[in-house]
């Protein structure tokens, strides 16, 4: 092997190692971003990450960004295999009777089988529309597992909070309904 | 030669087995090929509610007579490509199958070429300088006498 060929091979090997190292650093940096939930814990109020997903009931799609400036939103991440989701979704369904004209209630069925999800909605009497996020890509941007996760988005599109304790539901609903 | 025959026979026998597995999949084999979407393991290693749900779906599709490909396609449509434990044999997934093989072949070629060059470079050293004719004749005489 000539000297120039050897140098080229060594340069290629070093470039490969540097490239893989950069990829590793990028992944670690991205993984450290826990999404909306982490931002809220850090005291920030980020803009709601947009999504455009098919509705579970087959009536078209829901584009979250299209609601910005029009209506505040309650976003409920759930799945039919998630037992605690039943209680939280029923609470939202009840709250919808009071706030449904001023606030949009949207469910995000995540990492779930859509047939089971539809049956689950019927069984538990959940009537607010849900979209299907089978891969969990949208959930990841909002904070990932575990679920249920319920977020409150003001009319401006800023996320004002996440439900942590039961009392958060009426408090945040009043806040976003007035936004 | 015997190894080639064994490999050939194994390949011939594997074809009907793979065909049967495609047409009549079992829950056990699919549990090892499908991921649990919330635990990061295959279904056979998880008893989470999400994994149980997918196992029920697979069992119902098997009972309905679906092929393995149909079941996997349905799961991919619901959960995305990440639901499969191994990438699919099409599109970008092909890269994951062929890149390691190409890497192994390339590495074997580089090692082979290096070994060949190394062995050729040392050949003259092993042969050594030519013998003196007188010494060679004497050595031949000695060897002949030894043989007799």
Domain tally for chain A?
A: 2
* A26 and A74 co-located in one domain: no
Fill in the DSSP letter of residue A157: S
ipTM of the complex: 0.72
CATH code, A74: 3.40.30.10
Chain-centre distance for alpha carbon A10: 45
Q: What percent of chain B has pLDDT over 90?
A: 51
State yes or no: pLDDT of A77 exceeds 60: yes
* A70 and A10 co-located in one domain: no
Contact between chains at B57 and A116 (C-beta distance less than 8 A):
yes
* A151 and A92 co-located in one domain: yes
Which of B38, B48, B53 is opposite residue A80, by nearest beta carbon?
B53
Q: Which residues of B131-140 are buried (b: 16+ CB within 10 A; e: fewer)?
A: eeeeeeeeee
Distance to chain B for A135, nearest Cα, Å:
4
* A23 and A97 co-located in one domain: no
Residue B104 tokens read as 């192994």
pLDDT in tens, B76-90: 999 999 999 998 777
Domains of chain B and CATH, by start? 2-86 (1.10.8.640), 96-147 (no CATH)
**Could you say which residues from 57 to 86 on chain A have a Cβ atom under 8 Å away from some Cβ of chain B?**
79-83
pLDDT in tens, A165-176: 989 999 999 999
* A75 and A161 co-located in one domain: yes
pTM: 0.71
State yes or no: pLDDT of A133 exceeds 60: yes
How much is the pLDDT for B125?
A: 57
- Cβ-Cβ contacts under 8 Å between A and B: the total is 35
| Contacts (Cβ under 8 Å, ≥6 apart) of A103 | A71, A72, A73, A74, A96, A173, A176, A177
The band of B24, judged by pLDDT with boundaries at 50, 70 and 90, is confident
Which residue segment(s) compose the domain that A79 sits in?
36-177
* Mean pLDDT for the stretch of residues A85-104: 95
* A56 and A97 co-located in one domain: yes
């Amino acid at each position: 092997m000539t000297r120039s060929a050897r140098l080229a091979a060594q340069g290629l090997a070093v470039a490969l190692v540097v490239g893989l190292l950069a990829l590793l650093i990028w992944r670690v940096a991205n993984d450290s971003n826990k999404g909306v939930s982490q931002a809220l814990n850090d005291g920030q109020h980020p803009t709601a990450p947009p999504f455009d997903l098919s509705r579970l009931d087959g009536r078209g799609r829901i584009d979250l960004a299209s609601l910005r400036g029009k209506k505040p939103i309650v976003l409920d991440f759930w799945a039919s295999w998630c037992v605690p989701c039943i209680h939280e979704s029923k609470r939202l369904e009840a709250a919808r009777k009071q706030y449904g004209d001023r606030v949009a209630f949207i469910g995000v069925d995540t990492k779930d089988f859509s047939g089971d999800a539809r049956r689950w909605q019927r069984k538990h009497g959940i009537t607010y529309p849900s979209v299907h996020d089978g891969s969990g890509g949208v959930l990841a941007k909002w904070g990932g597992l575990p679920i249920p996760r319920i977020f409150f988005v003001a009319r401006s599109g800023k996320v004002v909070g996440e439900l942590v304790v039961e009392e958060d539901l009426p408090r945040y609903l009043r806040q976003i309904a007035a936004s | 030669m015997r190894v080639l025959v064994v490999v050939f026979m194994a390949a011939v026998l594997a074809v009907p087995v793979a065909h049967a597995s495609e047409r009549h999949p079992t829950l056990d084999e699919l549990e090892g090929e499908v991921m649990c979407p919330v635990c990061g393991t295959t279904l056979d290693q998880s008893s989470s509610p999400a994994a149980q749900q997918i196992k029920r779906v697979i069992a119902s599709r098997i009972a309905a007579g679906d092929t393995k490909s149909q079941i996997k396609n349905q799961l991919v449509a619901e959960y995305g490509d990440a639901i499969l434990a191994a990438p699919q044999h099409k599109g970008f997934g092909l890269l994951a199958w062929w890149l390691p093989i190409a890497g192994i072949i390339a590495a074997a070629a580089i090692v082979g070429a290096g070994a060949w060059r190394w062995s050729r470079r040392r050949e003259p050293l092993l042969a050594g300088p030519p013998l003196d004719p007188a010494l060679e004749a004497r050595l031949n005489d000695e060897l002949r006498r030894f043989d007799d």
